[in-house]
Amino acid sequence: MKQKIFVTLFIIAACYLYSQEIHRQVTIPFGSAENQITIDQGGGEHWKPLFFDIDAQGRIHIPDFYKSRIAVFDFKGKLQTSKPCPEGISSRMNFFALSSKNVYITFSDYTLYNLNALGKLNWKHQLGIGFIPASLYPGDQAIYLVPSGQDQRAIVYDFASNTPIGRMGFMKEGSGVAIVQSPSGKPYTLELSSMSRLPDNSIGPAQFQSEKKAHLLFIDTSDSSYWKAAADHYETLLVYDADGKKIREKNISYMNSETSGNAFWTVCRNNHLYKNYFFDDHMIVAEYSLE
C-alpha cells in the first residue's frame, strides 16, 4: 500500500515538474491551407521545415519556402502575416534565422540569402557546388558562415554586401576553428569545448571553464552568452557573463521520451528558450522560461 502511494505521489510530482518546465506551447498544423505549413513530399520524402525563429514580440517565424513565403504565427497558432519570398529558395534549406538587424538569413542549394524584414531579397551569394555549412551564426555586426571540413574558420559577410570580407578564426594542429564577435567585439568560438584552444592573450573565450561540450546559441547586448549542451532526453542551457563566469545552468527536458527524437531546433530569445517538435500532421513550438 505504501509503495503504491509512493509511486502515485512520484507520478504526480513528475507531472507537476513537467508542467512547470514548459511555460506555454502552440500547435501549428501541416497542410496546403494558408494557416498551415506545407510539407515538401518530392522524391518520395516528407521534408518538413526544421527551422524557426522568434522575434521580440514572441511571434514564431517559419520558413514555409514550399509556398515561397515566411509564415509568422502568434502563440495561439493564429497566422499573423505571410511574407512572400523570392522563388527558388528550397524548402530543404540548411539554415534559417531572424537576425538582430531584422533581416532573415537562410542557406539553400549552396547559396547564402539575405532577405529584408518583408521577405524581399537584399542579396545572395553562391558558393561552390557541394558546399554545405557546418554552422551559421548571424551576429550583431556580421554574418559568420562556417564551412564543413578541416578548415572551419568562419567566412565573414557584412550585412550590407554579398562579398565576403575575410575569414575569422585560428589554426590549431592543422584544423581551423571559427570565431565570431559579440556586440562589443569580444571573440567567441561556437563550441564551448574549443575555448581552451584559444591563445592565452585573447579576451572573452579563453576565460571560460566548462566540463560540458556546448554550442553557442546567442550573445546578448551585455555580452552574456547562452550555450546548449545536448543529451538524450534533455538539453542543458549554460549562461556566462561577459567575464566568463557561469551565472546560470538549467536543464530543459524534452516533452517526453516518445517525442524526444522529433525535437530539432533550439532558439534562445527574450529570456526564454524555444524548441520545435515534429509529428505526422503538425508541429509544436514549446516555450521554456529561463527564470
Tens digits of per-residue pLDDT, 200-218?
444 445 456 666 788 999 9
Q: Which three cell numbers stand for residue 181?
A: 564577435
- What domains can you pick out in the chain, each with its CATH number? 26-209+262-289 (2.40.128.630)
Report DSSP state, residue 149: S
**pLDDT tops 70 at residue 286:** yes
DSSP 259: T
How many other CB atoms sit within 10 Å of the CB of residue 126? 12
Q: What percent of the chain has pLDDT over 90?
A: 45
pTM (predicted TM-score): 0.85
Q: Give residue 200's identity as a one-letter amino acid code.
A: D
Q: Within 13 A of 280's CA, how many CA atoms are on the CB side?
A: 0
CA 88 from chain centre, in angstroms, equals: 23
In sequence order, what are the beta bridge partners of 111?
A: 108, 126
Encode pLDDT of 224-267 as tens digits: 999 998 877 788 898 988 888 888 999 888 876 454 457 789 99
Per DSSP, the residues of 192-259 read: GGGGGGS-TT-SSGGG---SS--EEEEE-TT--EEEEEE-SSEEEEEEE-TTS-EEEEEEEE-S-TTT
The C-alpha cell at 75 is: 502563440
Question: Are 110 and 131 a contacting pair, CB within 8 Å?
Answer: yes
